[in-house]
Amino acid sequence: MPKIRTGCSGRMGARIALLLLGSGLGVTALAADPDACAPLRPNAASPPPKAAAPAASKADLSGAKRVGVASFYAPKFAGRKMADGQRMNPNDDNAASKTLPLGTTAKVTNLETGRSATVTIQDRGPYVKGRIVDLSPSTAQQIGITRDDGIAKVEVAPIQVPMPDGTVKPGAAKLASAKDCATPDKGE
């Protein structure tokens, strides 16, 4: 016999059970605990609905380098809309980060191969614990992440970080290259 859990149990909050007989339905309606006031849902014995995903991490506007694991987009994501509204092109330099602002350009270096590529953060993710960036398949291949490996330890060094007020902040990679260029050789 199917059960239906009702919402609040009444003005006094007392538990009430009603057996509804009619039309051969054989439906039992159970009143909820006085404090529960849960919305209607079929079969009171079934588990509650899954909780919503945790809120996205706070945006990192520091421009600091970070080291972690990179993975790449699965083929099923090709053509799907990314967080910035663009369609994911597996041949572009797009990437996903949970914390870097959308529009950030960053240098991603595979710490195992030493190869690097410049990416633009256009999406949110990866949603796998321990991973800091998802790369397009072509970018992953460019820095030496193979389909067999699937992941690699990388350094993500922001080049330009868009700020909430519309300005652009230089990231760690840009500051390091400017510092290298600004130091003249005094021996000449």
pLDDT on residue 184: 55
Q: Which CATH architecture has domain 66-181?
A: Beta Barrel (2.40)
Q: What is the mean pLDDT of the chain?
A: 77
CB of 133 within 8 A of CB of 70?
Answer: yes
pLDDT on residue 25: 45
CB atoms under 10 Å from CB of 153, counted, come to 13
Tokens 């849960």 correspond to 38
pLDDT on residue 172: 86
CA distance 130 to 107: 19
Phi and psi dihedrals of 124, rounded to 5? -105, 145
The per-residue b/e assignment along 48-78, b for 16 or more CB within 10 angstroms, e otherwise, is eeeeeeeeeeebbbebebbeebbbbbeeebe
Q: Is the dihedral of CA 6, 12, 17, 20 positive or negative?
A: negative
Residue 151 CA, chain-centre distance (Å), reads 17
Q: Is the dihedral of CA 71, 75, 77, 79 positive or negative?
A: positive
pLDDT on residue 175: 77
pLDDT on residue 170: 93
CB atoms under 10 Å from CB of 101, counted, come to 16
- Mind listing the pLDDT tens digit for each residue in 77-104? 999 999 999 999 999 999 999 999 999 9
Per the DSSP assignment, residues forming a β-bridge with 133 are 70
CA distance 21 to 25: 7
In the chain, domain spans: 1-47, 66-181
pLDDT on residue 185: 52
Question: What residues of the chain score a pLDDT lower than 70?
Answer: 1-57, 179-188
- From 162, 166, 174, select the one nearest 97 (Cα to Cα): 162
CB atoms under 10 Å from CB of 82, counted, come to 20
pLDDT on residue 173: 82
pLDDT on residue 57: 58
CA distance 46 to 114: 52
pLDDT on residue 4: 47
pLDDT on residue 58: 79
User: Structure pTM?
Assistant: 0.65
pLDDT on residue 93: 96
